[in-house]
């Protein structure tokens, strides 16, 4: 299979990708779950405005930012009538994770020579803790100065998609279906698609560029429910409590011992799900316990819920008078279920990798993505690499060559979906 790079003689997009990336990471866009504003922080609006202005200067006049900070830009097909062509959505998120500061990010660009990377503040990215470094010798890496996260998650995705937009806008003969560029806010605090009416996107397929190392394709995520368990006891002065006090704290403790320890995140990995109590608050009179339920097999969430309800019944039997209420709410669903309805979403993603001699690495995410929510709402959305590493940490770095590969993969997807639509329609 020959390597069919889209721009065989033009390495200049490496420089353009890097320039964009360095510009974007220096704008503080940390999401804040404590804010109820939409988006949660004003920096996200600022970066969005820059993206709109850059898209306008590429000649994509319909680029705009809505009141929620979401940026959209659209190129109709140059092969078919708009109504006959597939619509491919490319998505990444503007915000960065609140786990580490995103203020005054000072990116450092280096060509990796092997061994540990010492950051300017003395922190070290060790090859022991970051085994993928051994495959990145000779590559251009972008790190922080050790004081902040980098924001490669997911400004690498933004830079990749903006370069795809540049290529398509400046090469009007490059065959394309309808292409929608979509930049969302507050993904890191679970609100990425909250303000989006997915059916209005009219998408056939979407790809998020929000994954790890070279060739990674995420085709499956957990399915997820959240549970709140409330224990209602009776408080009274302990001096006169005999046969009268009902201690909700003892109730919660008894309840927790009923949950199988082997279902905990501390004891599971790979394909196994878990049932995870993560927050507890209250006193003798009442206790509130929060849990998350996770499994790749959506049906197994029901077994986890049954386990909670049985534990509640047994605890009420053990502690007379204690009342327990179990409330379980759905959060997101494994994208694999939705991707089966549009097999071309994955088939063409794999084909795009093969055309570039990149071995696709199909990986499941032990968590959720915006793609799981988009897929659940009818828009099949696998996740592709954007060259991000050690995310949500001052040890974060991004790899320029992996970003360039992702850009090439994006353009191959554009071409493949353009051909695919023609084959289907004629
Ligand atoms: Zn991300």
Residues 63 and 154 in one domain: yes
Query: What sign does the CA torsion over 336, 268, 279, 298 have?
Result: positive
273's tokens: 């799900």
Residue 5 lies in a domain: no
Range of the domain at 121: 12-221+334-425
Token representation of residue 278: 């993560």
Active-site residue 95, yes or no? yes
Q: Which of 331, 360, 377 is the last residue of a domain?
A: 331
Residues with CB under 5 A from ligand 1 (ion): 153-154, 210
**CATH label of the domain that carries residue 301:** 3.30.70.360
Q: Is 187 a catalytic residue?
A: yes
DSSP character for 266? G
Kindly give the distance from the C-alpha atom of residue 99 to the centroid of ligand 1, in angstroms, as a whole number.
12
Among candidate residues 153, 154, 187, 210, the one labeled active-site is: 187
What's the pLDDT at 423? 61
Alpha helices in 203-362 (DSSP H): 248-257, 298-318, 335-339, 344-355
Does 3 map to a domain? no
CA of 403 to the centre of ligand 1 (A): 14
Cα 193 to middle of ligand 1, angstroms: 13
**Which residue, 331, 356, 378, sits at the end of a domain?**
331
Distance, CA of 414 to CA of 52 (rounded, Å):
21
Same domain flag for 327 and 207 = no
Does 262 share its domain with 380?
A: no
Whole-angstrom distance, CA of residue 184 vs CA of residue 239: 57
Considering the domain boundaries, does residue 381 fall inside one?
yes
From ligand 1's centre to the CA of 154, what distance in Å?
5
Q: Quick one: pLDDT at residue 367?
A: 87
Residues in the chain, pLDDT under 70: 1-11, 422-426
CA 417 / ligand 1 centre spacing (Å): 25
- pLDDT of res. 370: 85
Rounded (5°) CA angle 181-186-189: 140
Bond prior to 154 in cis (omega within 30° of 0) = yes
Active-site position among 95, 163, 210, 402: 95
Residue burial 337-367, b: 16+ Cβ < 10 Å; e: rest: bbbeebebbbebbeebbebbebebeebbbbe
Centre of ligand 1 to C-alpha 267, Å, is 26
User: How far is ligand 1, taken at its centre, from the CA of residue 211, in Å?
Assistant: 7
Distance of CA 391 from the midpoint of ligand 1 (Å): 8
Instruction: Check: CB of residue 154 under 8 Å from CB of residue 209.
Output: yes
Q: Is the pTM of this model over 0.75?
A: yes
Q: Are 41 and 392 in contact (CB under 8 A)?
A: no
Residue 208 alpha carbon to ligand 1 centre in Å: 9
Q: Judge whether 16 lies within some domain.
A: yes
Domain-located, residue 117? yes
Q: Is residue 6 part of a domain?
A: no
Domain C-terminal end among 331, 353, 387: 331
The pLDDT tens digits for 190-245 are: 889 989 999 999 999 999 999 988 999 999 999 999 999 999 999 999 999 999 99
127 shares its domain with 247? no
Amino acid 9: pLDDT:
41
CA of 177 to the centre of ligand 1 (A): 26
**In total, how many domains does the chain have?**
2
CATH number at residue 215: 3.40.630.10
Q: What is the pLDDT of residue 420?
A: 86
Residue 8's pLDDT is what? 40
Residue 273 pLDDT: 97
Check whether residue 289 and residue 406 sit in a common domain.
no
Contact assessment for residue 223 and residue 295, using Cβ atoms and an 8 Å cutoff: yes
Q: Indicate the SS3 state at residue 286.
A: strand
Mark whether 271 and 296 lie in a shared domain: yes
202 and 228 assigned to the same domain = no
Residue 286 to residue 269: CA distance in whole angstroms: 34
Expressed in angstroms and rounded, the spacing between residue 97 Cα and the centre of ligand 1 is 8
Residues 286 and 354 in one domain: no
Do residue 60 and residue 179 come from a single domain? yes
18 CA from centroid of ligand 1 (Å):
18
Regarding whether 316 and 346 lie in a shared domain, the answer is no
Whether 71 is in a domain gets the answer yes
75 in the same domain as 177: yes
163 shares its domain with 205: yes
Q: According to the model, what pLDDT value does residue 1 have?
A: 36
The verdict on residue 1 lying in a domain is no
Q: What is the pLDDT of residue 320?
A: 96
């Amino acid at each position: 299979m020959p390597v069919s790079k889209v721009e065989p003689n033009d390495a200049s997009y490496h420089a353009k990708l890097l320039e964009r990336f360095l510009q974007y990471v220096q704008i503080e866009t940390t999401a804040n779950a404590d804010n109820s504003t939409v988006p949660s922080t004003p920096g996200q609006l600022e970066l969005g405005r820059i993206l709109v202005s850059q898209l306008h200067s590429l000649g994509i006049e319909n680029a705009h930012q809505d009141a929620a900070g979401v940026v959209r830009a659209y190129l109709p097909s140059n092969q078919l009538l708009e109504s006959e062509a597939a619509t491919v959505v490319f998505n990444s998120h503007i915000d960065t994770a609140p786990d580490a500061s995103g203020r005054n990010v000072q990116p450092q660009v280096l060509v990796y020579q092997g061994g540990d990377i010492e950051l300017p503040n003395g922190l070290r990215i060790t090859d022991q803790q970051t085994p993928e470094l051994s495959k990145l010798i000779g590559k251009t890496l972008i790190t922080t100065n050790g004081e902040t996260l980098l924001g490669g998650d997911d400004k690498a995705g933004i830079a990749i998609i903006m370069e795809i937009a540049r290529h398509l806008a400046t090469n009007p003969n490059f065959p394309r279906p309808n292409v929608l560029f979509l930049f969302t806010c507050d993904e890191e605090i679970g609100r990425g698609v909250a303000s989006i009416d997915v059916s209005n996107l009219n998408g056939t397929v979407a790809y998020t560029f929000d994954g790890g190392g070279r060739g990674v394709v995420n085709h499956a995520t957990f399915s997820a429910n959240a549970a709140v368990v409330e224990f209602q006891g009776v408080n009274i002065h302990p001096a006169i409590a005999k046969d009268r006090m009902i201690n909700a704290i003892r109730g919660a403790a008894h309840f927790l011992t009923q949950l199988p320890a082997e279902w905990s995140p501390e004891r599971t990995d790979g394909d196994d799900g878990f049932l995870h109590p993560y927050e507890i608050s209250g006193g003798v009179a009442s206790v509130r316990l929060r849990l998350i339920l996770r499994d790749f097999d959506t049906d197994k969430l029901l077994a986890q819920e049954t386990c909670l309800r049985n534990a509640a019944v047994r605890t009420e039997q053990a502690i007379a008078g204690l009342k327990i209420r179990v409330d379980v709410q759905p959060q997101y669903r494994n994208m694999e279920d939705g991707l089966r309805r549009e097999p071309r979403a994955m088939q063409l993603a794999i084909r795009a990798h093969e055309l570039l001699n990149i071995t696709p690495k199909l990986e499941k995410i032990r968590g959720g993505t915006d793609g799981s929510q988009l897929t659940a709402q009818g828009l099949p959305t696998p996740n592709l690499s954007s060259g991000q590493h050690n995310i949500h940490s001052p040890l974060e770095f991004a790899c320029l060559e992996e970003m360039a590969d992702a850009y090439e993969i994006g353009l191959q997807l554009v071409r493949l979906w353009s051909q695919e639509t023609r084959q289907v329609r004629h």
